[in-house]
Amino acid sequence: MITHLLSLLLAIPSHAAAPTPVDAQAFMDKAELSMETLGRRSAFSSWMQQTDINYSTEWLAADADNAYSAEAAKLAHEARQYDKLKLPADLARKFLALKLTVTSPAPPDVKEQKELSDVKVWLDSMYGKGKYCPTPDKCQTLNDLEDVLRDSRDPKVLLDAWQGWRTISPVMRPKYERFVELSNRGSQDLGFKDTADLWRSGYDMTPDQFSAEVDRLYVQLKPLYDSLHAYVRRRLQDKYGKDIIGADGLIPEQLTGNMWGQSWENIYDLVKPPKTTPAFDLTEQLKKNKYDENKMVKAGEGFFTSLGFDPLPATFWERSLFTKPRDREVVCHASAWDVENSQDLRIKMCIKINTEDFVTIHHELGHNFYQRAYEKQPYFFRGSANDGFHEALGDTIALSVTPEYLKTVGLIDKVPGAEGDIDLLLQKALEKVAFQPFGLLVDKWRWDVFSGKTKPADYNKAWWDLVRKYQGLKPGNERTEKDFDPGAKYHIPGNTPYARYFLANVYQFQFYRALCKLHGHTGPLHRCSYYGDKAVGKRLNDMMAMGASRPWPDALEAATGQREMDATAIIEYFAPLKAWLDEQNKGQAIGWKAD
């Protein structure tokens, strides 16, 4: 009898109830709570590891990262059961955000999940601990070597510092290759082709459309970059001679004043307009006015509060790291932190009293004020409309750090006249325009690595092919596949997507132009400062408070009235400089041989 009943039951078809939108909402509510809890734990552990690098903090960071990544992968995999449901737009947006939660999704295998977390923390720590030791009793950190590239004008010394830093990264190469394999497995388990496909899926368009969009923006900017490149190349040749510069039109990277040639403002003294005396040196003015690290950050905060934003919480000043400790290793790369959903905002950087760090502080605080603006959003909407928005916000403020602003806050005595505009624009172009090709090539390299187009045997060659093509730069000496030069840039071992910085350079000028119009500014765009304008602050806050709840064109429209990315604001800003550069470049070759 019992046997007969069992056979009948087994014969009855079993159909689990099909999932409904109500089920999807319940799933998402639990997912957000779980990810927020684990995210907080991971943030605290990562802060400890980056501000005190040792075995114990590395273990804690890896363990917390593994728990967060594994849960994200598990939830994202489970969420695929709701893929075919027609969901409300905001709920569908959360499901996509869940899949994009981590930049390197954990693979399904538990052992590989732990391995991936261990590899990520190891790479990050190796970079943070990196030193160049030409002799056993003389070791130089990245900060030390950056000082050399900024200050020295001896080509041999520059080359030694440049290639010295690149001795830290060859050991990373096998681990990075394994990282790519594991990250791709996690991405594929979520339904993406690879990690590159995942990264490019966060822009409210297809990955291929996104690639085409950044190429379109680059084409808009290339004539301006080419003019700047030709002018700087000629002036460097005047300084160092044809033998060092070469005849291929490429600039040796170590001569740009920056470890990666991503900005050239440190060689301003070599390329400044002839017979021009700068109206002021902001680094000297900061020192003259007795600015220390704390006062530098206070100045950045002051710009935001002048726009109507509330001051930073007291815990910001208690828990941030402003200076490099003498008693431990830290990751000095500047970053902003939202440890407990805007209740515990911090920045981490080894501040120097100079112009570059004054601007960087405004950039990092932009992250913090953005984080606080969207704190009431649900967990998966606590972010910017896309990652380029987050990077752009602080720099939008920094563009308003004009001579007019500096006089208002007492850093200079008088505003220089229009005769100094070319000088000021050239300084800004050496920072902003020079950056754009590098901002594009870092992720172009990684997209090809993740997709398999670039094989591990060609990692270094592919890197330098892109540097030559986009930046018009070349290595200081012969590089081979024994080297791993991409690993000498933090964002590669740190696994931080980089296209966001390219986008940010476009967005910040687009935001700036629109806010200057709101402010009622007339005259050259580069002379606008909206310091103290509460209407500008409200416009910014309204956009930032949206977080990631709406597609980025909606957020862009809220800030600028435009729905498309547009590089014409950069072109307008630097128009007087472009005309001047073209005049200076008459009779000179423009461009370079990339092959």
Query: Angle at the Cα of 44 (from 43 to 47), degrees rounded to 5?
Result: 85
Collapsing DSSP to helix, strand or coil, 494 comes out as coil
Residue of 71, 265, 364, 431 marked catalytic = 364
* Greatest C-alpha distance within the chain: 107
Q: Tell me whether residue 305 is exposed, middle or buried, using C-beta atoms within 10 angstroms of its C-beta: 0 to 12, 13 to 18, 19 or more.
A: middle
Angstrom CA distances, 100 to 179, 206, 340, 380, 468, stand at 18, 14, 20, 10, 32
Cβ atoms within 10 Å of 270's Cβ, excluding its own: 16
Is 208:196 a contact under the CB 8 Å cutoff?
no
Name the one residue in this structure whose structure tokens are 């509510």.
29
Cβ atoms within 10 Å of 54's Cβ, excluding its own: 13
Does the active-site annotation cover 431? no
Tokens of 416: 């220089």
**Element at 132 (helix H, strand E):** strand 132-135
Does the active-site annotation cover 36? no
d(CA 24, CA 82): 7
Collapsing DSSP to helix, strand or coil, 338 comes out as strand
* Eight-class DSSP state of 287: H
**Element at 578 (helix H, strand E):** helix 575-584
Collapsing DSSP to helix, strand or coil, 380 comes out as helix
Residue of 375, 491, 521, 572 marked catalytic = 491
d(CA 585, CA 228): 9
- Spell out a b/e string for 436-462, using b for 16 or more CB atoms within 10 Å of the CB, else e: bbbbbbbbbbbbbbbeeebeeeebbeb
Query: Angle at the Cα of 584 (from 579 to 587), degrees rounded to 5?
Result: 115
Tokens of 44: 């605290």
Tokens of 289: 């006015």
Collapsing DSSP to helix, strand or coil, 27 comes out as helix
Query: Angle at the Cα of 172 (from 169 to 177), degrees rounded to 5?
Result: 130
Catalytic positions: 364, 491
